[in-house]
Amino acid sequence: MNRALYPGSFDPMTLGHLDIIKRASLMFDELIVAVLNNSEKTALFSVDERVKILTEATKDMKNVRVDSFSGLTVDYCLQNNLHIMIRGLRAVTDFEYELQIAQTNRKISDNKVDTVFLTTDLQYSYLSSSTVKEIARYGGDVSHSVPDYVEAALKEKFKGIRS
Ligand code: ADP
């Protein structure tokens, strides 16, 4: 069976992430979307909240499973017998960073984990979780960037922060 992992922070998941999930799910028999519990980064949404959002977003995609993990992504891959990692590329700036990570992951997994890059759909190339959070914090419209349940969750998070 052809399986792949799409790892990320997904804080929160955007329509850009969802587009990559949909496209990758058509390429593999099983796609595991896993939220990285990264103690280095301060997240707005808890890991459970991020998993819930991804589960809701992928509920109609029968070959997609949502999970979370801590530690090295290659360790998660090897423990779960996964050898392909999916990453999304928006611009040249993503490429430099992602290339280095992909090469490092290949090296430290003893060439057992490879990365496949999907280029963003142009309509989402400007989109990042950080800008979505920034816009939502100040009451801006994020309806074109995230599903409605994520927009509602963002409103709830920032309720009372302004005023
Ligand atoms: P990270 O895993 O680096 O903390 P994210 O959770 O934001 O970052 O992103 C996970 C993956 O999704 C990364 O490969 C990132 O490049 C990709 N990605 C993020 N936003 C988009 C987008 N708008 N279009 C396509 N890919 C994206």
* Ligand 1 atom nearest to 130, measured from its CA: 7
- How far apart are alpha carbons 14 and 148 in whole angstroms? 11
Domains, the chain, ordered by start? 3-125 (3.40.50.620)
Digit-coded pLDDT (tens) for 102-134: 999 999 999 999 999 999 999 999 999 999 999
Which percentage of the chain shows pLDDT scores above 70? 98
pLDDT above 60 (res 73): yes
Phi, psi (deg, nearest 5) at residue 77:
-60, -50
H or E element, residue 33: strand 30-36
pLDDT level of residue 15 (50, 70, 90 thresholds): very high
CB of 8 shorter than 6 A to ligand 1: yes
Which percentage of the chain shows pLDDT scores above 90? 91
Catalytic-residue membership of 90: yes
pLDDT at residue 39, rounded to an integer: 79
pLDDT at residue 162, rounded to an integer: 58
Digit-coded pLDDT (tens) for 21-56: 999 999 999 999 999 998 778 999 999 999 999 999
pLDDT above 90 (res 16): yes
CB of 120 shorter than 6 A to ligand 1: yes
Digit-coded pLDDT (tens) for 81-95: 999 999 999 988 889
* Ligand 1 atom nearest to 86, measured from its CA: 14
pLDDT above 60 (res 163): no
pLDDT at residue 115, rounded to an integer: 98
pLDDT at residue 151, rounded to an integer: 98
Q: Quick one: three-class SS letters along 78-107?
A: HHCCCCEEEEEECCHHHHHHHHHHHHHHHH
pLDDT at residue 92, rounded to an integer: 84
- How far apart are alpha carbons 79 and 120 in whole angstroms? 29
Q: Please list, in sequence order, all residues whose beta carbon lies within 8 angstroms of the beta carbon of residue 130, skipping any fewer than 6 positions away.
A: none
Q: Whose CA is nearest to atom 2 of ligand 1?
A: 8
Q: Whose CA is nearest to atom 22 of ligand 1?
A: 16
